Amino acid sequence: MDPVPLLALKLLSAIAERNPPLIARQMRKQDSLLLPLIAENYQVGHPRLNRHTINIIKSVIQSKELSLSEI
């Protein structure tokens, strides 16, 4: 699978900061592959880890719409 482009991460991060429950619900409803792809980059020392990835994961967790096992 191709990596998520940086511009897409920036846009998703901005949306997630403003409305975290919406992003989490959409990811659950569409059985999205995007969250696992982003979470895959959420590792210490990963070359694609950036503040946008961190903001997206943080927003999804704080929304409490998805359990940790779903993430």
Q: What is the largest CA-CA distance in the chain?
A: 31
Please report which confidence band the pLDDT of residue 14 belongs to, taking 50, 70 and 90 as the band edges: very high
- Contact between 66 and 28 (Cβ < 8 Å): yes
User: pTM for the complete prediction?
Assistant: 0.73
pLDDT digits (tens, 9 = 90+) for 51-63: 888 888 888 888 8
Measured distance CA(6)–CA(26) in Å, rounded = 20
| Mean pLDDT, range 8-29, rounded to an integer | 85
Burial 34-61 (b: 16+ CB within 10 A, else e): ebeebeebeeeeeeeeeebbebbbbbbe
Higher-pLDDT residue of 16 and 1 is: 16
